[in-house]
Structure 1
């Protein structure tokens, strides 16, 4: 097996912030590192941390379902590293968004740029890991001759990826197929739809006073009120129970009806 010397220095490489100890500060980046360190070879991980702290990684980029970077080793040309995860189909992502939007706490924290710890449970409910849980959950590729998963070059990228998650937790969701902008737009859309569905039907839309000066002093009860239809003659005779009074053996209502008809003709339409 050929032996290689120390890695070549890199100008403008990405350096890990921590010079010793653990990498990752927030709960989500620590969860990611804990998973990585649970299955990876400790020797390769140690060399990967060293590469990350020396700034050997350049061009780290997080896209949907794939992270790519270049890592400078001892050879002249840097190695190409790609780390992929399984794709989440669109119907599942829509269901995840609905589940997140249904919880006011999740929605508020995500809109504020925070990552609620319970978000892992939401993904787990759909059988989707928010973070890779084992080596088989990541598809690690490196152009170096080491077949280890991860090799030291990929390990360096993964450690720096954890620090990138510290800076922007939404990169976790970007890697899982949803950018920050698209996720928040979806949450706002669902939030607006929910608010519209629960709107108070008795709520009255306010009108600026300057638009109602012409009818401001008009009693509110009669504003824009359509004219009442004319009352048919004899309406009361039809609505009220007939009195037990007869005039020459005729019901009183029958006697009065001609008089009501005559009054209606005299008044004309209302």
Structure 2
């Protein structure tokens, strides 16, 4: 039977499954510092200063820096309180070199972890491989003069020898890349530190969640039900006389068509003005086709330029109509609005009365002979259409082509409508 082995002491730290307290870094590529400094971060330079401030021979430091920048330092192993590597010198066999420094005690680590957990920006900085000055100062994290103790198997008894100096310079580069290497030198591995910070955060959140909420403010019941009159609203500003014009939209290959933007802006301004002045939406009851015709008719010069012809084409295609259909409908809309469009598209049978009296009136005025069909009176090139609104609408076509286009101004008198058509 195997002898009994006592369990770990209460409070003793368990060894993690992987060795978080030993890290080996492959040989660093030769590199030089910038701006005369070997390290790039403030903590890396503080490490270098701790070495250089206690060096007894500047010449050995210079040779050590040269060794560091020319690849003489092999892989570096970092454990708590120790940095070790083989450094090549002038002899074929490299020297075993190490730098020792004091590890932090448990009380120091508690202060460090408390300081880090107290400020979320400190934790964020650590995760971003940064070391805030205030956090480093909480426990004297960085070495000072005399804290770095070099040791080397070479016969040189300088303090430090050039091999130890080279290792120290290369260690500064490791600190630049990952400040958790410094924490490992001081006694704790990265995963161990992050786990401790996570535990502190969880405990802090649990304490906050369990805290009693602050009491709700109260007021006497009489005050709560007392009505407080609201201040009167200022009177609305008067409506403008007419809607404003939209700005000019520059042409850009990656932007929407400026003509379409201008039409939409003009339309929005006109509708808003009508709603403001009348309280009614002038287009709410329109069909999609009527609205498309209205939009095209509202734009001056529609269909006369390349851009507006493209607009006609797109609007017509969206409603399964031809550009010619849209152009004719626009002319009817400009002639009489929705009623004019209905006259264009909807033949109907008017009751006896004004329509029957129209032909004798035209003959009496010595105007051309017209033949009737439903609500229309037609000659070879002229036509009058009687609308449901009681107005006569003039149309014109090439002789015998039956290609009727709205012309002139609607009139309740057929003679007046035809006279305007002949004069236009």
1:130 partnered with 2:141: yes
* Contact 2:31-2:70 within 8 A present in 1 as well: no
Cα offset, 1:200, TM superposition: 5.5
Residue 145 and residue 201 in structure 1: after superposition, are their counterparts in 2 closer, same or farther (change >3 A)?
Answer: closer
Inter-partner Cα distance in structure 1 for 2:96 and 2:105: 27
Cα offset, 1:173, TM superposition: 0.7
Inter-partner Cα distance in structure 1 for 2:71 and 2:153: 19
- Residue among 22, 25, 28 paired with 2:43: 28
Aligned to 2:31: 17
Aligned to 2:164: 154
Inter-partner Cα distance in structure 2 for 1:19 and 1:31: 14
1:73-108 residue CA offsets vs partner (Å, 9 max, x unmatched): 111211001111113222332232122212332223
Structure 1: tracts of 5 or more residues without a match: 1-11, 124-128, 204-270
Cα offset, 1:178, TM superposition: 1.3
1:80 partner SS: strand
1:216-235 residue CA offsets vs partner (Å, 9 max, x unmatched): xxxxxxxxxxxxxxxxxxxx
Aligned to 1:221: none
Inter-partner Cα distance in structure 2 for 1:177 and 1:93: 9
2:49 partner SS: helix
* Contact 1:16-1:160 within 8 A present in 2 as well: no
Aligned to 1:121: 137
Inter-partner Cα distance in structure 2 for 1:160 and 1:173: 17
Residue 130 and residue 16 in structure 1: after superposition, are their counterparts in 2 closer, same or farther (change >3 A)?
Answer: farther
Cα offset, 1:183, TM superposition: 0.7
Structure 2: tracts of 5 or more residues without a match: 1-25, 214-424
* Contact 1:15-1:56 within 8 A present in 2 as well: no
Aligned to 1:65: 81
Aligned to 2:91: 75
* Contact 1:14-1:52 within 8 A present in 2 as well: no
Cα offset, 1:19, TM superposition: 7.0
* Contact 2:111-2:138 within 8 A present in 1 as well: no
Aligned to 1:165: 175
1:114 partner SS: coil
> How do residues 166-245 of structure 1 correspond to structure 2 at under 5 angstroms?
166-199=176-209
Aligned length: 186
TM-score, with structure 1 as normaliser: 0.64
1:227-253 residue CA offsets vs partner (Å, 9 max, x unmatched): xxxxxxxxxxxxxxxxxxxxxxxxxxx
Aligned to 1:46: 62
Cα offset, 1:46, TM superposition: 0.4
1:165 partner SS: helix
Aligned to 1:104: 120
Inter-partner Cα distance in structure 2 for 1:82 and 1:201: 51
1:153-206 residue CA offsets vs partner (Å, 9 max, x unmatched): 000001101111111111111111111111111111101100100116679xxx
* Contact 1:61-1:67 within 8 A present in 2 as well: yes
* Contact 1:13-1:56 within 8 A present in 2 as well: no
Larger radius of gyration: 2
Per chain length, whose mean CA-contact separation is higher, i.e. which structure has more relative contact order (CA < 8 Å, sep 6+)? 1
1:142 partnered with 2:146: no
Residue 60 and residue 192 in structure 1: after superposition, are their counterparts in 2 closer, same or farther (change >3 A)?
Answer: same
Residue 96 and residue 77 in structure 1: after superposition, are their counterparts in 2 closer, same or farther (change >3 A)?
Answer: same
* Contact 1:174-1:180 within 8 A present in 2 as well: yes
Superposed CA RMSD in Å reads 2.1
Cα offset, 1:132, TM superposition: 1.9
Inter-partner Cα distance in structure 1 for 2:37 and 2:212: 58
Inter-partner Cα distance in structure 2 for 1:95 and 1:117: 15
